[in-house]
Amino acid sequence: MNEINVADVREFFSLNGLSDAEITPHLNSAINKFSTKQMAQWDYKEAVCCQTIANCATLLFSKGMNNLESLETIYQGFGDINAFKNLWEDRANALLHKNESAIGAFYWASV
């Protein structure tokens, strides 16, 4: 698989307020999660990027509380940030099942 970097992640969601150095460990964790999975290159990239965004959710929220003007969206509390995390994580996980059933192929679109 081609190497995925922070710029690729930012194509899906900019993660304003987080530096590349802060995102990189979360990206590496997502790469670890999906590196053994069999999927098309584009699906792999999307899954890794979406999982990275989900992994950054708590950090994004905690930094955002100190720097609200840098966020695209204002989160009211843990419920909002948890919903944000779940949305991106569900999208990543749906790609694992995309080729297993017709339901998996459309699941991410409903998330």
Distances (CA, A) of 18 to 9, 10, 28, 61, 100: 12, 10, 16, 10, 35
Query: DSSP E strands: which ranges in the chain?
Result: none
Quick check: 87 pLDDT over 90? yes
Quick check: 102 pLDDT over 70? no
Number of domains composing the chain? 1
Domain assignment present for 6: no
Domain assignment present for 12: no
Domain assignment present for 50: yes
For residue 63, give its domain range. 19-110
Place of tokens 């192929």: 105
Quick check: 54 pLDDT over 70? yes
Task: Write out pLDDT tens, residues 27-45.
Answer: 999 999 999 998 899 999 9
The mean pLDDT value for 14-34 works out to 94
Quick check: 81 pLDDT over 90? no
Quick check: 68 pLDDT over 60? no
8 Å CB contact between 84 and 57:
yes
Place of tokens 């749906």: 94
